């Protein structure tokens, strides 16, 4: 946003004085760094030639003599002209108000925010509209950056709060266009609330996105990763079916990695090793080896299908869950009291062996324990098929 020069009313002389009073006035001068630096050079005096580099003054008159005569004749409370008619300064007897928070609060309380002006509206048109309600000290037209296009809204500062309130409460239209008006302090209260709400919404959105991303990552990490088409589900097995014999049977048609089957169960799941769709390749070979595409196992026809979709995902999910549970159980069982190497564990004190004849195991009471066949696990931590 950039402060605009308030266009003075009347003839050339009045416009010159009004423009210079704006330059050296209470609102512009504290913010005009260039003019402040020029005033330091010669005890507050600024050459009229320097002031003529300001566009709005030059648009009124470019003659030093005209400008000097206008200021001298005006007897202004704010500015005066040097005896040689070449310089202008702010009157020594009228110093700037203290640049304090209280002062700028007073300015804010005397300022009205107006919105709804057409983009092509000029400063002179806004001033002409605003001065109906009182004496205008400043007009600040809000513009976009960096192209400085008028945004259709402005802040208009009056000499008193009473005049500002009259302007704010007025229902007058600008060229038949209804304007939105509010006091500047109410405007900033509204904007601060909007900013807080926006930040809160952005924070919530950012937090929600973070949670969603974390959930997505967790879901992706927990989702089973597997090669598709390796699981063949068999149905129709007889009561004499055995897991080891099933492996031997299907090993003729593919590389069997694991067989999930309870002896006598009519169903079994054969997991093949190798590339994608290895189960379908093996099943096709099995059917080709049969008669008329039928697969006979122990003189009974069996059917098969390759798991896919949700069924396949469920199989691998159960597989990885079982594998993780075994891993966790092994970790808890090692290194602690009663675990491997611990007190009372394998290799420690408390175990007993009986070497009468064939080596055997006995329990804590001395009763013989039946030898158990140990089935070693495959690479995935599952019992190997026999």
**Across 292-314, average pLDDT:** 89
User: Would you state the pLDDT for residue 99?
Assistant: 76
Query: In the numeric block, which tokens belong to residue 23?
Result: 């330059």
Q: pLDDT per residue over 4-34, tens digit each?
A: 554 444 589 999 999 999 999 998 999 899 9
**pLDDT confidence of 164, banded at 50, 70, 90?**
very high
Tally Cβ neighbours within 10 Å of residue 10: 10
User: Would you state the pLDDT for residue 224?
Assistant: 61
Q: Of the ranges 122-126, 313-317, 339-343, which one carries the lowest mean pLDDT score?
A: 339-343
Residue written as token pair 């500062």: 157
User: Would you state the pLDDT for residue 303?
Assistant: 93
| CA 118 to each of CA 121, 153, 171, 234, 259: distance values in angstroms, whole numbers, following the listed order | 6, 9, 17, 79, 80
The Cα 122–Cα 79 span in angstroms is 27
Q: Where are the alpha helices (DSSP H) in the chain?
A: 12-23, 33-41, 48-51, 55-60, 64-74, 101-109, 123-130, 161-169, 184-222, 243-250, 278-289, 309-333
Which CATH fold would you assign to the domain 2-186? Alpha-Beta Plaits (3.30.70)
**Across 320-331, average pLDDT:** 82
**pLDDT confidence of 374, banded at 50, 70, 90?**
very low
User: Would you state the pLDDT for residue 221?
Assistant: 66
Q: pLDDT per residue over 166-216, tens digit each?
A: 999 999 999 999 999 999 999 999 999 999 999 999 998 888 888 888 877
Q: Could you tell me which residues come within 8 angstroms of residue 382 by beta carbon, excluding any fewer than 6 positions away?
A: 258, 319, 322, 323
* Residues in a beta bridge with 369: 361
Contacts 24+ apart (CB under 8 A), 262-269: 264/239, 264/240, 265/237, 265/241, 266/235, 266/236, 266/237, 266/238, 266/241, 267/233, 267/234, 267/235, 267/237, 268/233, 268/234, 268/237, 268/241, 268/243, 269/231, 269/232, 269/233, 269/234, 269/307, 269/315
User: Would you state the pLDDT for residue 58?
Assistant: 95
Spans of all domains in the chain: 2-186, 231-347
Element (H, E) at 5: none
Q: Could you tell me which residues come within 8 angstroms of residue 60 by beta carbon, excluding any fewer than 6 positions away?
A: 12, 15, 16, 19
Percent of the chain with pLDDT over 90: 51
Element (H, E) at 386: none
User: Would you state the pLDDT for residue 10?
Assistant: 57
CA dihedral 185, 189, 194, 197 (to 10 degrees): 170
Q: Are both 2-186 and 231-347 of the same fold?
A: yes
| CA 148 to each of CA 56, 138, 230, 318: distance values in angstroms, whole numbers, following the listed order | 17, 19, 67, 65
**DSSP track, 52-118:** TTSHHHHHH---HHHHHHHHHHHT-SSEEE-TTSSEEEE-TTSPPPP--HHHHHHHHHTEEEEE---
How do beta strands 267-272 and 256-260 pair? Answer: antiparallel
The Cα 57–Cα 52 span in angstroms is 6
**More confident site: 47 or 320:** 47
Q: Could you tell me which residues come within 8 angstroms of residue 340 by beta carbon, excluding any fewer than 6 positions away?
A: 333, 334, 346, 347
Burial string for 83-115 (b: 16+ CB within 10 Å, else e) reads eeeebbbbeeeeeeeeeeeeeeeebbebbbbbe
Length of the chain: 386
**Across 58-77, average pLDDT:** 94
Determine the 3-state secondary structure of 30 from DSSP.
helix
pTM of the model as a whole: 0.50
Query: Quick check: 127 and 141 in contact, CB under 8 A?
Result: no
User: Would you state the pLDDT for residue 292?
Assistant: 82
Determine the 3-state secondary structure of 50 from DSSP.
helix
User: Would you state the pLDDT for residue 290?
Assistant: 85
Mean pLDDT across the chain: 83
* Residues in a beta bridge with 285: none
How do beta strands 300-306 and 295-297 pair? Answer: antiparallel
Which CATH fold would you assign to the domain 231-347? Alpha-Beta Plaits (3.30.70)
How do beta strands 231-235 and 256-260 pair? Answer: unpaired
Q: Which of 240, 200, 373, 232 is nearest to 315 (CA)?
A: 232
């Amino acid at each position: 946003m950039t402060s605009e020069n308030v266009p003075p009313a009347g003839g050339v002389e009045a416009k010159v004085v009004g423009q210079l009073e704006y330059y050296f006035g209470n609102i512009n001068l504290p913010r005009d760094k260039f003019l402040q630096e020029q005033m330091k050079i010669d005890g507050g005096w600024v050459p009229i030639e320097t002031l003529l580099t300001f566009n709005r003054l030059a648009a009124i008159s470019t003659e030093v003599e005209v400008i000097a005569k206008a200021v001298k004749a005006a007897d202004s409370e704010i500015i005066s002209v040097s005896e040689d008619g070449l310089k202008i300064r702010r009157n020594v007897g009228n110093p700037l108000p203290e640049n304090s928070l209280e002062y700028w609060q007073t300015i804010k309380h005397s300022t009205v925010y107006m919105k709804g002006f057409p983009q092509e509206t000029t400063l002179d048109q806004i001033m002409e509209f605003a001065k109906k309600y009182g004496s205008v000290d400043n007009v600040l037209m809000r513009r976009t950056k960096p192209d400085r296009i008028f945004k259709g809204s402005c802040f208009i500062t009056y000499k008193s709060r009473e005049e500002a309130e009259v302007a704010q409460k007025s229902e007058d239209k600008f060229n038949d266009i209804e304007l939105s008006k509010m006091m500047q302090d109410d405007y900033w209260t509204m904007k601060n609330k909007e900013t807080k709400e926006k930040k809160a919404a952005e924070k919530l959105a950012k937090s929600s996105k973070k949670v969603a991303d974390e959930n997505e990552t967790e879901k992706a990490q927990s989702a089973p990763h597997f090669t598709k088409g390796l699981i063949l589900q068999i149905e129709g097995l007889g009561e004499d079916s055995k897991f080891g014999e099933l492996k031997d049977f299907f090993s003729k048609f593919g590389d069997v990695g694991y067989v999930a089957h309870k002896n006598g169960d009519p169903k079994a799941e054969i997991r093949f090793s190798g590339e994608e769709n290895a189960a379908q390749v093996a099943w096709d070979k099995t059917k080709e080896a049969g008669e008329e595409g039928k697969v006979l196992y122990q003189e009974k026809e069996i059917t098969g299908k390759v798991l896919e979709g949700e069924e396949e995902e469920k199989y691998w999910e159960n597989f990885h869950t079982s594998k993780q549970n075994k891993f966790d159980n092994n970790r808890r069982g090692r290194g602690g009291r009663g675990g491997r190497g611990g007190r009372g564990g394998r290799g420690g004190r408390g175990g007993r062996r009986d070497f009468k004849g064939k080596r055997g195991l006995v329990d804590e009471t001395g009763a013989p324990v039946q030898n158990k066949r140990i089935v070693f696990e495959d690479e995935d931590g599952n019992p190997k098929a026999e």
